[in-house]
Amino acid sequence: MKRRTRISIEPKYILASCTALCLVIILVSFKYSDGLGPIKTSVGTVLSPMQKGINSIGRYISDRVDDLKNIQSLQSENKKLKEELSTISYENKILQQDKYELENLRNLYQLDQKYASYPKVAARVISKETNNWYNTFLIDKGTEDGLAVDMNVLAGNGLVGIITEAGKNYSRVRSIIDDSSNVSGMFLKTSDTCIVTGSLKLIDSGLIQVSHISKDADVKDGYEIVTSNISDKYLQGILIGYISDITVDANNMTKSGYLTPAVNFNRLDTVLIITELKENTEELKEMMK
């Protein structure tokens, strides 16, 4: 078999030939423009639909590119808005915390003014029992801050409880709702005495027990009960709560009822501790006589 001879033409010659051909066509079209009119028309008729199709494709591609740019712009804007929303949400939480803190401090100030004759120290609650109630809990102040066992603790509108343990920089508080708590109380209007006993079962309904009310005591539902003067640990006149459902006991000698505490024991953040012991107060009174 004979090997075929390859014809190799350099690209520069091809480019030059195409250029010359184009120049010839341009010159011919200028010189014989009238004669070439029908050809132009025919070519235009053939090429016009192609041109429209190419233009449509071009517009479609351009629109898709614009859509892609818009999507990218919207995604970027959406990301930015999410970041701003996250920042606003965080700032809103801080404002709510500040608002609660301010309201809490305002309540403590009012409580401080209510018992202005007693010296006090504020403390934060740092831990509590695993149940829902603050029957016993720890605060962030201790002996270094002048606190001691048996000092009275206040919050809300009145009595929380008493310090049962005082460390160097912490103290443990037993509240009046604890099962082991017994507070000697008296009715503010009549001075009749009673015993307020803690009950974790009853506190679920917002109440604790009141007993040992004299049968002849002229007391009614809604009366205020405060710490009595005969209490050995609690200072006199601190609001404990409000009596309800008073009934005569089976012995027909005493009455009992239920007490709604003046403090919300479902939530405690900050408390006031009266830095004065009942025994010291009594000694001071004896010395002043």
Q: Is residue 184 part of a domain?
A: yes
Model pLDDT for residues 145-173, shown as the tens digit of each residue: 999 999 999 998 899 999 999 999 999 99
Out of 12-16, 42-46, 77-81, pick the least confident: 42-46
Q: Is residue 20 part of a domain?
A: no
> Tokens at residue 11, please?
């690209």
Cα–Cα distances in Å, from 262 out to 5, 40, 147, 160, 169?
A: 114, 102, 23, 8, 28
User: What is the residue-averaged pLDDT of the chain?
Assistant: 82
Residue 261 is inside which H or E element, if any? strand 254-261
H helix or E strand, kind and range, residue 286: helix 278-288
Looking at the structure of the chain, the number of domains it has is: 1
Q: pLDDT, tens digit, for every residue of 25-77?
A: 666 666 655 555 565 565 556 556 666 666 677 777 777 777 777 887 878 78
Beta bridge partners of 122: 272
* 91, part of any domain: no
Q: Structural domain of residue 237, as residue ranges?
A: 120-280
Who's near 236: CB < 8 A, 6+ residues apart? 226, 227, 228, 229
What is the residue-wise DSSP string for 101-152?
HHHHHHHHHHHHHHTTTS-EEEEEEEEE-SSSS-SEEEES--GGGT--TT-E
Residue 145 lies in a domain: yes
Q: Is 29 strand, coil or helix?
A: helix
In a domain, 201, yes or no: yes
In a domain, 1, yes or no: no
- The answer to whether the beta carbons of residues 139 and 123 sit under 8 Å apart is yes
Q: Which helix (H) or strand (E) holds 100?
A: helix 37-114
Within a domain: residue 51?
no
The verdict on residue 31 lying in a domain is: no
Residue 242: the pLDDT is 97
Q: What is the CATH number of the domain that holds 173?
A: 2.40.10.340
What average pLDDT does this structure show over 219-242?
A: 94
